[in-house]
Amino acid sequence: MASDPLLAASHVLDLTEPLPLDGGQQLAGVRLAYETYGTLAADKANAILICHALTGDQYVASRHPLTGKPGWWARMVGPGKPIDTDRFFVVCANVLGSCMGSTGPASPAPDGEPWGMRFPVITIRDMVRGHIALLDALGIDRLHAAVGGSMGGMQALSLAANFPDRTAAALVIASTARHSAQNIAFHEVGRQAIMADPKWCDGDYYSAGAEGKGGKGPEKGLALARMAAHITYLSEAGMHEKFGRKLQVRPDGTPGSKTFGFDADFQVESYLRYQGLSFTDRFDANSYPYITRAMDYFDLAEEHGGHLADAFAQSTARFCLVSFDTDWLYPTSESRAITHALNATGCPVSFVELSAPFGHDSFLLDVPALDRVVRGFIGQ
């Protein structure tokens, strides 16, 4: 990563109490970096918590300090937008275990050295405990809504289930109540790619003198992990539409041709390589195993005696579930299972499968139907 992301965070909260973790530890000295948009009402009843995905961050609707790119959900959050910051106070915190200012493996441990792989393995519920501590600090007793796509949806579900008084609504997009064997398998490939990179140095690559050249760490392994994961974020049809078998135009402008070598002949190869490489500029390699592990461990039913419906027994929220027809990472059947569980518990729930060509990534992209669903549900 290029520079210290903490320098750019608008807000930082240092927790005064240790955070209890599902692994049994108490994590002291937790710091949470977060962004806010809009104004908190006097009665503090207009707050919306947005939860980010695996490689996301708190920069929902503001420029990313490392990449300079617009916020990852700028199309959805802002004045007059579906999540209208003229009306709502939006909070987004970098999750525990990540690397954009909140405490994670790159943060200093009590001995002053980076945690590295000494950082405790955390869960989605632990991330949510961090969010609750932030809401406490902001004096927000009850959210208007908890909102998230993908891993963000897991947090929204976990919050509604485990802290049932703390939100009046949960909007869960392209997500799941438990990681499947295939989900775990893809994550395991990513973790092994990072850990197989000799520059990983057992996670101890931060010091300038480490083999991981000046602290840049296992960039090849991290890029590989990102490449493999990125395929799962797209649909087969979407990839066909975007790339098909199109060949790379050569630097001199001549049309692409097969080189009978191992250069990136196909545009899809070049695209994936770029996705992998650029990811290493903004993400700490050690955060990747920690956050994927949290996702793999996620099984909301298991947390509640094996019955998903029981997870929502105390919930006071209304729910909205959204899936995409081309999402094969967290397919519609996962959202439907959650909907059935909510129905069984008598929770108010609406569920819609949207048609969009972008696969799992649809929740981040130009899907006007999603804008309408979000605006409708949040505006109630």
Q: Is 185 in the site for a second copy (CB under 8 A)?
A: yes
Helices (H) and strands (E) in the chain, counts: 11, 12
344 Ramachandran zone, left/alpha/beta (phi>0; psi -120 to 50): alpha
- Residue 285 C-beta: closest distance to a second copy, Å: 13
Paired with 241 in beta bridges are: none
Residues 220, 226, 228, 234, CA torsion sign: negative
Question: Among residue numbers 258 through 287, which ones bind a second copy (CB under 8 A)?
Answer: 258, 260-262, 264, 266, 268-269, 272-273, 276
Cα distance between residue 133 and residue 92, in whole Å:
13
Half-sphere exposure of 256 (CA within 13 A, CB side): 14
- Residue 373 C-beta: closest distance to a second copy, Å: 26
Is 360 annotated in the active site?
Answer: yes
Q: Which one of the listed residues 126, 197, 284, 327 is annotated catalytic?
A: 327
Residue at token pair 């057992």: 202
Range in contact with a second copy (rule: CB under 8 A) among 153-161, 164-172, 236-244, 303-311: 236-244
Q: Which helix (H) or strand (E) holds 275?
A: helix 267-279
Binding mask 296-335 vs a second copy (x if CB under 8 A, - otherwise)? xx-x--x-------------------------x--x----
Among 135, 147, 160, 224, binds a second copy (CB under 8 A): 224
> What tokens appear for 142 in the block?
């009850």
Phi, psi at 204, each rounded to 5°: -105, 55
Cα distance between residue 247 and residue 257, in whole Å:
6
Cα distance between residue 378 and residue 86, in whole Å:
13
∠ Cα 204 196 279 (to 5°): 75
Is 187 annotated in the active site?
Answer: no
Got the DSSP string for 167-210? BSEEEEES--SB--HHHHHHHHHHHHHHHHSGGGGGG---STTS
Comparison of 9 and 338: residue with beta carbon closer to a second copy? 338
Cα distance between residue 293 and residue 113, in whole Å:
23
Among 293, 300, 317, 320, binds a second copy (CB under 8 A): 293
The number of residues that bind a second copy (CB under 8 A) is: 57
Q: Is 195 in the site for a second copy (CB under 8 A)?
A: yes
- Residue 233 C-beta: closest distance to a second copy, Å: 11
Range in contact with a second copy (rule: CB under 8 A) among 80-88, 98-106, 187-195, 307-315: 187-195
Range in contact with a second copy (rule: CB under 8 A) among 32-40, 106-114, 176-184, 309-317: 176-184
Q: Which one of the listed residues 62, 98, 107, 150 is annotated catalytic?
A: 150
Among 136, 188, 204, 353, binds a second copy (CB under 8 A): 188
Q: Is 41 in the site for a second copy (CB under 8 A)?
A: no
Check if the beta carbon of residue 324 is closer than 8 Å to that of residue 358. yes
Q: Is 202 in the site for a second copy (CB under 8 A)?
A: no
Is 111 annotated in the active site?
Answer: no
Residues marked active site are found at: 150, 327, 360
Q: Which residues bind a second copy (CB under 8 A)?
A: 22-24, 117, 120-121, 178-182, 184-186, 188-189, 191-193, 195-198, 220-221, 223-224, 227-228, 231, 234, 236, 239-240, 242-245, 258, 260-262, 264, 266, 268-269, 272-273, 276, 289, 293, 296-297, 299, 302, 328, 331
